[in-house]
Every structure is written in C-alpha cells, then in structure tokens.
Structure 1
C-alpha cells in the first residue's frame, strides 16, 4: 500500500515525520533512484526508498524497543520542545535508541506513558477504532454527585460526540474526591475538559492503565523500565 514518504521514514525509526520532511526537502531521499519531493508516496513492497543512499531498516532487521515510563508532572510528552520545556525524551535518553510517546499526557498530568519505536503498535494503541481503554485516577473538587451522571452520559468535545466513559467514585478527603475515569479516545486534555464541563476542578490527574497494562507501582516518578514479554502480549 502506498503511503507518504515521511510516514514510511518515521515508522522505520530513523527520525520523526518533521525530520523526514526536512530530509526530503534537502534531497537526501530517493525513490527508485529518483530524488523525492514532499508529497511523494511509495510502497515498500515494490519501491526502493533510500536515505543518504541506504535503504530503510526493515521490520525483520530491527529489534524494537518498548518502554514504560512513570511520567512526572512538569514534562511535555514530545521528543523536543520549541519553548525549551523539559521533555519525556530526556527521561528515557539512556534507553539506547530513539523512541516516541504512544499518545500524550499533558504537562500537568502524570503516570503511565508508553514509549516505543514500533509504528504498528503505536497505531493500534492510539487509533480510536481499536477502542483501547485508558484509565485515569482524577482528584477533583466540586459537586461530584451532580457531575457523575454528566461524566458517564453523552458528552461532546469540539463539536464531536464522545464515547461514554466509565466513572467510579473513590474516597473523599478534605473536600477532594478521587474518581476513576476510563475512556478509549484520546482528544487533547480530554479528561480535564470533561471534568470542566461537569463543573469539577481537577487537582491531580494520573494515568494508571492502558489496555491491560497497568503502571508499575515500583517505578518512581521519572523512572522507566522495558516492558515484559507478558505485557507486550497484552498490548498486541
């Protein structure tokens, strides 16, 4: 199947899509011996795509990397940041290869963040059609009794309907209530915006599960480890 060159190059793990676009513009990419241009497509089953004269790494040639990070607050879920903010890439720089975040947690959120260089698994986990559950613990203030039926009922963001969330109420202490919210979409700051629509103020937000993989409680904030084979099987 034909796909844009920047997507093919990014999926190979060589660079990001933005980086691939820069390489294409610089004339470093060829398709079947012809210098490529932005917008060109290729099918790796029939076309030869070279970067600096070398073919893209093939799936069978590359050992993929899969990491679990306990993301702390104060870090953005990107590989680089034009504003100079701290990134999750800095936290996992010792893993020995270039990996990217599977989805995002906003700067003020914390908890489970998966990182990999496997494009196919990334697509499976973040595309809404696969309906991969994501569970968050959310500490809120406000009228929780009023908010619960709103959060678990029909809601919209950006003019689009949301799939119903699963919401459970936990303990309340000092006026702060803990909620468990399970969604399988990934709109920008979705859980925070849902809570705001329901009249709640989010004090803390922590992702604790993605699919059937849960955050390792032994991981301190900012620490990471490689996924086990059992965890990979669950994600796949």
Structure 2
C-alpha cells in the first residue's frame, strides 16, 4: 500500500495533504524519514509515524464467497484486458485477493479476502482443506481409473495426494459422466490434468464446495459475505486464533 494512502485511510489527513506531510519530512517509516512520494509499505510489518507519533490503522478484514462464471480470469488484473473476478464485486472498497485459482473455463466457488493468513492456510496442502469439484468427463471412468485417481496419479511435478472420487451420473448412451472428486491440493489445472491422464478429458468443471462452504443460494456471478459464524468455524479448522 502506498504511504500516502495509508495515512489517508488512518485518518491523518486527506491523500493530498498526506503527500505534503511526506514532502515536508514529517513522516517516518521504521524510524527513517521519508520525503519521496510513491513509497509502498506493509501495514502489518512497517511502523509509520507522523511527527514521531505512531499511526495505527488496521484494514477491515473482508471475506467473500463468489460463484464464479466461466470466462473470468482469477486475478486482480489482466494485462490482456480480459474480464477478471474483480469485475464481479464492483461495490467492494477493500482491496481483496482471490484465494487460489479457478482457470478461465472453470466455474464455481471462489473465496476472496484481504486476510493473508487465512488465504495462505486454505491453499497450503499441509492444512488439508477439502475442495469438492463436479466434473463432466468424456466417456465413463472405469473402476480401475477411479482407483488410480484416488491413490494419486503422477503429474509432471509429482504424484497427487489421495483423493475421493465417485461417479454421480452416467449419460444413457455412456458418452459422458458426472464425477465428484474431493482433493486438498491446488496445483495448476490439477483436476483437468488428472482426468486427462487417465483418458477421460474434462468438458465441464465446477468447484461446488470448500471445506463446509457451498454455493447454496448463489446464482452464477453472485457473491455474498461470509457470516461471522462461518469465519469463526473456518479459522478454527485452519488453527487460526482470534
């Protein structure tokens, strides 16, 4: 975050007046006088003072659950000007970041937050947070293929962790099936690559659950704030105090 923005958010002065304070040498970061505009700080780490008085500002933590449509990039911005998931939350003032990624053609449940600790723990395999996907495959995965997916398949960067897999529905002509898979990793295009490896490419992919969170009540493209109870339960599962 830019220093002048931090000062403005903390209520020290307006953005323009904060810039003047910096130019006059009245602002210190980690006890070093700053006179150059544009310097960035980390509010969680850096100590900011104005006239030797500490400036304290804690950004409000925001937790959103979005039902991502196809055709949106899971990114804060895109150099090619493609639509991003941030375009779907225009009314949110806080600077949020997607937790993990859903690729362009994947739909479904996506969390966005400015809580870095929670985001890190959700995406790290160490914490074993279940991610449930609904997969439409070309052909019907055989029992042997299902077992292979469950035990873990060898991708270029290593073997996948054990998964839970079950066939939900088989089309009458047996040309395709709906398959449910639960994993706790988040490698790039992991689910698609796993099914391609066993010979049943994916034609549609939707994440329908993350831990206990589901898409219930959310239409495609809609989002909602997590409830206080959901935040509390999620933090407890992740071992986050407070």
Please give the alpha-carbon distance, in whole angstroms, between the structure 2 residues aligned to 1:155 and 1:66.
Answer: 33
- In the other structure, the counterpart of 2:231 is 232
- In the other structure, the counterpart of 1:94 is 91
Structure-2 change in CA distance of 1:211 and 1:80 (3 Å): same
**Larger-gyration structure (1/2):** 2
Please give the alpha-carbon distance, in whole angstroms, between the structure 1 residues aligned to 2:101 and 2:225.
Answer: 18
- In the other structure, the counterpart of 1:109 is 106
Is the CA contact 1:211–1:234 (under 8 Å) kept in the aligned structure 2? no
Question: TM-score, with normalisation over the residues of structure 2?
Answer: 0.75
- Aligned residue pairs, count: 207
Which secondary structure does the structure 2 equivalent of 1:114 belong to?
A: strand
Is the CA contact 2:140–2:176 (under 8 Å) kept in the aligned structure 1? no
What's the Cα RMSD here?
A: 3.4
Query: Any stretches of 5+ residues in structure 2 without a counterpart?
Result: 3-26, 236-242
Please give the alpha-carbon distance, in whole angstroms, between the structure 2 residues aligned to 1:134 and 1:230.
Answer: 20
Please give the alpha-carbon distance, in whole angstroms, between the structure 2 residues aligned to 1:166 and 1:211.
Answer: 14
Structure-2 change in CA distance of 1:29 and 1:206 (3 Å): farther
- In the other structure, the counterpart of 1:33 is 32
The Cα of 1:30 is off from its aligned counterpart by 4.2
The Cα of 1:142 is off from its aligned counterpart by 2.3
Is the CA contact 1:71–1:110 (under 8 Å) kept in the aligned structure 2? yes
Structure-2 change in CA distance of 1:42 and 1:71 (3 Å): closer
Query: Any stretches of 5+ residues in structure 1 without a counterpart?
Result: 7-27
The Cα of 1:234 is off from its aligned counterpart by 2.5
Shift >4 Å, 4+ stretches: 53-58
- In the other structure, the counterpart of 1:219 is 218
Which secondary structure does the structure 2 equivalent of 1:80 belong to?
A: coil
The Cα of 1:88 is off from its aligned counterpart by 0.1
Structure-2 change in CA distance of 1:100 and 1:56 (3 Å): farther
The Cα of 1:161 is off from its aligned counterpart by 2.0
Q: Which moved more, 1:178-187 or 1:89-98?
A: 89-98
Please give the alpha-carbon distance, in whole angstroms, between the structure 2 residues aligned to 1:177 and 1:34.
Answer: 64
Question: TM-score, with normalisation over the residues of structure 1?
Answer: 0.76
- In the other structure, the counterpart of 1:202 is 202
Please give the alpha-carbon distance, in whole angstroms, between the structure 2 residues aligned to 1:56 and 1:73.
Answer: 43
Residue 157 (structure 1) aligned with residue 166 (structure 2): no
